[in-house]
Amino acid sequence: QDVRVDWHKHRVSLPQEDLRRHGVSDEDLAACRLTPAWRELMAFQVDRTRALLHFGAPLARRLPGRIGLELRLVVQGGLRVLERIEASGYDVFMNRPELGAKDWAIMLWRSIK
């Protein structure tokens, strides 16, 4: 979610194989180009991450007490960030997803229902 910041620190957290497969170059990253290839790559990353969060979610539901609630909030926080990335049209270059009070209320509701 901090692609632009990470690039300027000479680190790329996106898998190189995925960048190549989707046709996103280092030059695209450096220039913060919001291309169709970038949007496809980010949609792929969001879908994969969402699947992983959903895969791990049952564990958080099985754990009792505070630790269970905290893990459910972690899962819901991750899902909410993914929603924000999608809502921005995958423009994480200029629109870093941030969670506010409304998001926390939504995450808490989803965690306890």
pLDDT in tens, 57-88: 999 999 999 999 999 999 999 999 999 999 99
How confident is the model over 28-58, as pLDDT tens digits?
988 989 999 999 999 999 999 999 999 999 9
Instruction: Tell me the DSSP string of the chain.
Output: --HHHHHHTT---S-HHHHHHTT--HHHHHTT---HHHHHHHHHHHHHHHHHHHHHHHHHHHS-HHHHHHHHHHHHHHHHHHHHHHHTTT-TTT------HHHHHHHHHHHH-
**0.75 exceeded by pTM:** yes
Q: Indicate the domain borders of the chain.
A: 3-112
